[in-house]
Chains A and B, each alone.
Chain A
Amino acid sequence: MDNLQIATPEIFLLAATCAVLVVGLFVQAKSNTVYWLSQLTLVITLIMSLSQIGDDAVTGLSGAYTVDVLSASLKSWVLVIAIGIFLYSRDYVGNRKIARSEYFVLGLFAVAGMMIMVSATHMLSVYLGLELLALSQYAMVALHRDNGLASEAAMKYFVLGALASGMLLYGMSMIYGATGSLNLTVIGDVLAGNSETLSAERTIGARFGLTFLIVGLAFKLGAVPFHMWVPDVYEGAPTSVTMFISTAPKIAAFAMLVRLLVGGLETLSADWQQMLAILSALSMVVGNLIAIAQTNIKRMFAYSTISHVGFLLMGIVGATNEGYSASMFYAITYAFTTLAAFGVILAVSRAGFEADQLTDLSGLGKKNALLAGVMLLAMISLAGVPPAVGFYAKLSVLESAVGAGFTWLAILGVIMSVVGAFYYLRIIKIMFFDDPADDIEVNPAGDVTAGLAINGLAVIGLGLAPGLIMGACIAAFA
């Protein structure tokens, strides 16, 4: 085992999580000890991750693990967003019959899984990270065990997730057969070699493997036509878990996509570009069109996520470094914008009342202008209206698609973003133009309000100064 220290943040996180798990057994169900310990763990891990930014790329653990600019910055974002998730969901899990210490412990394990995915440069470590994340999420979806909808969602998630894992493993094994390695760097080198080292049959084998790999990835990302599980899982899961699933894991999924397709299989880019272009186009169209018909916020967000996955893929379709940084920017901004939106939904819900219907937000502008303002910013950002940060995310992926000659995809994208604007506007309309259905006050805890205010400021502030993240994203692929 060489270079173990490059994984210090993950090792610390896992060790601390185990400690939190034990502590959780001894504290009272109502105490906030586990919550604070979890936040402390995340903050310390964040500091450790941040300290890795700027270092040269180091590969260790027999080539299975790499720390570079990409991994360090993505990990930091995952951790920042996880801190936000825990903050927003604290009262939600506290007020419901959810095993709250398990919620935080499973969340920490999922974060560890994401961090491993971000750094993995070996198919085994990619898979390891992915399954650690996925298994934690299956359990989190099922935390509401008395709720039939939640159990059903968890089953669906588990079965389809396992199917996707199977696809991934099958693709990986074929690529192993074709190239003789699971190490992504080695795979890249072998595929880049000339025809003498790689016979025609082996190239075909690698392409088959690639196809299965992409199917698996599309399942995990929720790209059309492998998206069937997304709406049901989003709707069935407790809202705090929906928030979890829809934010930070997108960043990890982006990392996995880049590590596999760019790190290992970039030589086959002519093959995967076409597949991703179709997945991207279908996801944008289907996601946006079906989202219009939804009355449940969580389902609406599920379809909206599908459409955003389409945009995310649009950046990668070009197979250029600027496209990858555009997608990275998209993943990060999408995650913290969605975090803000779900944060508001959680703040509006209370014990015995799930704010999961669109009408549950009616009159929020009158009840709590700050929350409504944050939601407004999140919505215009998701719709891609300047000056919110989501506009630059769309701009950069469109720019990379046009640059790579996929102008038709870019045009489809902008038309679909207008369709998307319709249902985001509807939320603004419900909050500001409709009268409140009741006069129950909406007053979340002070730290939650502060968190949401910061989150909303980030959505608009990073829109005014998008260079702050953009620079890091470009550096990651320089």
Chain B
Amino acid sequence: MSFPILSLTIWLPILAGVLIIALGDRPARKLAGVASILTLLASLPLYFGFDSGTAEMQFQESLAWLPSFNINYALGVDGISMPLIILTTMINVIVVISAWQVIKDRPAMYLGAFSIMTGLMVGVFSSLDAMLFYIFFEATLIPMFLIIGIWGGPKRVYATVKFFLYTFLGSVFMLIALIYMYKQGGSFSILSLHDLPLNQDQQYWIFLAFLAAFAVKIPMWPVHTWLPDAHVEAPTAGSAVLAAVMLKMGGYGFLRFSLPITPDASAHMDTFMIVISLVAVVYIGFVALAQRDMKKLIAYSSISHMGFVTLGIFIAFRLIAKGDDAGVALGLEGAMIQMISHGFISAAMFLCVGVMYDRVHSREIADYGGVINTMPIFAAFMVFFAMANAGLPGTSGFVGEFMVILASFKTNFWIAFLASLTLILGAAYTLWMVKRVIMGPIGNDKVAALTDINSREFWMLALLAMMVLLIGVWPNVIGGVMHASVENLVQHISTSKY
């Protein structure tokens, strides 16, 4: 076994988080800063050492952990999970920068919780054992529960309990499904679950159990209602991590569990999934249009964008039926790039709102106006990210949406038509918000007294802008590592299990 890079990327932030909490507030910021950069550095070999020519799991580690249940500490990544890990470790650095001066109340606990959560999320994306995955998946709820509950807004208790119970309820069904499959096949290894023969009924039930877990997490309409509450009440960095990484666990779950384990049930359910994805894209887009709270608007925009992810994933079965394998890969890769891109853009949007909130202590759109006059540099960033959120070509937001729409076109004009509405709706709600917040004459005295972003905030947003631009002009930077794994996935889901 070579050097355990994945274990290092999981346990370094977790242990650092414990240490940060134990040592108290004084050294917390510096420690968290060092830990987050070290974690990012530890994760980079995953990208640069990645062999994009193969669909095999790479950087594998395996240790017997609970032999009586055949549960192993098994880790590994492929082209589907590795980009999400890099996203996680990058967002962690941004989170530390964003919290540097802002968090006054118990900074050690705050930064420690984020650090621990980073390790847990990396664990989610790198587990090759379903029970290990479940453990990381659930464990992330605890730090997020505390983050929203302690540092959140006025209705934080309601929001955080709702967040916890919704997602917990979703995932316990997954637990039963995992136990059931363990009873069938005698193993929790994800790769062996992929090959587990299951008849039609079994697949349906297992698909529904997974759906409960992942639909809530991503979140799909109509189980999305916890998300706006959680986002509005969460502290800025909490919203950023929630949108940037935690939602992706749902999309990742579909790709890693639902599709390969229950390909036939997924194929049978595809119309249903496509319909509710389109409802998310269109209906939630309209809901976003009606928001007065910037955070709520971005939260709804996230749900709408995640509808694109599920659309890209489930459109695949229509294309398989047509024998268009290239189209399948297009849709799946579009969904995956959309996830990564949304990770950066939504984090950036929430951080932008956070920057304004720190100064004015309001997230109401009506309390702003003409911010560009007092904060020109910030306004430039904000407009850039808003454009990316609306899917402007040249930004990462365009790439994923375009691929998914293109794949939809190959199946059905109307699906593509409805999906493309997001380009209009997305542009409408983000640009209208930008117009009311950033543009125009100075709205009130508070805006007049604003000071532009400092260098800390500048670098935080600049890093994100660079990523958004990089993926926008050179999508292959992440697309390239995905091909082999996606092709393997396509191969797998186009073969019936019975």
Give CA–CA (A70, B136) in the complex, Å: 32
By the criterion CB–CB under 8 Å, are A474 and B68 in contact? Answer: yes
A-B contacts, CB under 8 A, total? 86
Give CA–CA (A205, B120) in the complex, Å: 56
Answer whether residue A425 sits at the interface, using C-beta atoms and an 8 A cutoff.
yes
Min distance, Cβ B184 to any Cβ of chain A, angstroms: 10
Chain B hits for A395, CB < 8 A: 69, 131, 175, 179
Answer whether residue B49 sits at the interface, using C-beta atoms and an 8 A cutoff.
no
Tell me how many residues of A have a C-beta within 8 Å of chain B. Answer: 34
The residue of chain A having its C-beta at the shortest distance from the C-beta of B209 within the complex is A411
By the criterion CB–CB under 8 Å, are A385 and B138 in contact? Answer: yes
Give CA–CA (A403, B173) in the complex, Å: 16
Contact of A425 among B109, B145, B183 (CB under 8 A): B145
Min distance, Cβ B231 to any Cβ of chain A, angstroms: 18
**With known contacts A407-B180, A466-B66, A471-B68, A433–B157 Cβ distance under 8 A:** yes
By the criterion CB–CB under 8 Å, are B168 and A421 in contact? Answer: yes
Contact with B along A62-89 (1 / 0, CB 8 A): 0000000000000000000000000000
Give CA–CA (A410, B161) in the complex, Å: 24
Answer whether residue A387 sits at the interface, using C-beta atoms and an 8 A cutoff.
yes
Min distance, Cβ B497 to any Cβ of chain A, angstroms: 21
By the criterion CB–CB under 8 Å, are B172 and A415 in contact? Answer: yes
The residue of chain A having its C-beta at the shortest distance from the C-beta of B135 within the complex is A386
Contact with B along A141-173 (1 / 0, CB 8 A): 000000000000000000000000000000000
Contact with A along B152-192 (1 / 0, CB 8 A): 00001100110011001100110110011011000000000
Give CA–CA (A380, B141) in the complex, Å: 11
Min distance, Cβ A317 to any Cβ of chain B, angstroms: 15
Tell me how many residues of B have a C-beta within 8 Å of chain A. Answer: 34
Give CA–CA (A470, B69) in the complex, Å: 10
The residue of chain A having its C-beta at the shortest distance from the C-beta of B149 within the complex is A433
Chain B hits for A470, CB < 8 A: 66, 68
Contact of A399 among B69, B134, B173 (CB under 8 A): B69
Contact of A414 among B69, B145, B176, B182 (CB under 8 A): B176
Answer whether residue A467 sits at the interface, using C-beta atoms and an 8 A cutoff.
yes
Min distance, Cβ B152 to any Cβ of chain A, angstroms: 8
Chain A hits for B67, CB < 8 A: 467
Chain A hits for B383, CB < 8 A: none
**With known contacts A402-B179, A407-B176, A432-B146, A418–B165 Cβ distance under 8 A:** yes
By the criterion CB–CB under 8 Å, are B68 and A467 in contact? Answer: yes
Answer whether residue A396 sits at the interface, using C-beta atoms and an 8 A cutoff.
yes
**Within residues 439 to 478 of chain A, which ones have a CB less than 8 A from any CB in chain B?**
466-467, 470-471, 474
Chain B hits for A417, CB < 8 A: 172
Contact of B66 among A407, A422, A467 (CB under 8 A): A467
The residue of chain B having its C-beta at the shortest distance from the C-beta of A379 within the complex is B142
Answer whether residue B413 sits at the interface, using C-beta atoms and an 8 A cutoff.
no
Min distance, Cβ A449 to any Cβ of chain B, angstroms: 15
Give CA–CA (A471, B66) in the complex, Å: 9
Chain B hits for A428, CB < 8 A: 145-146, 149
Contact of A421 among B150, B164, B183 (CB under 8 A): B164
By the criterion CB–CB under 8 Å, are A433 and B150 in contact? Answer: yes
Give CA–CA (A398, B173) in the complex, Å: 12
Contact with B along A370-383 (1 / 0, CB 8 A): 00000000001000
Answer whether residue A429 sits at the interface, using C-beta atoms and an 8 A cutoff.
yes
Contact of A418 among B131, B172, B176 (CB under 8 A): B172
Answer whether residue A35 sits at the interface, using C-beta atoms and an 8 A cutoff.
no
Min distance, Cβ A420 to any Cβ of chain B, angstroms: 10
By the criterion CB–CB under 8 Å, are A429 and B142 in contact? Answer: no
Answer whether residue B474 sits at the interface, using C-beta atoms and an 8 A cutoff.
no
Ranked nearest first, the 9 interchain pairs of A and B with the lowest CB-CB distance are A414-B172, A386-B135, A418-B169, A433-B149, A386-B138, A402-B179, A399-B179, A467-B66, A403-B183
Beyond the given pairs A414-B173, A428-B145, 15 more chain A to chain B contacts, judged by CB atoms under 8 angstroms and listed by A's residue number, are A387-B135, A391-B135, A391-B138, A395-B131, A398-B175, A399-B69, A399-B179, A399-B182, A411-B173, A411-B176, A418-B172, A428-B146, A429-B161, A467-B66, A471-B68
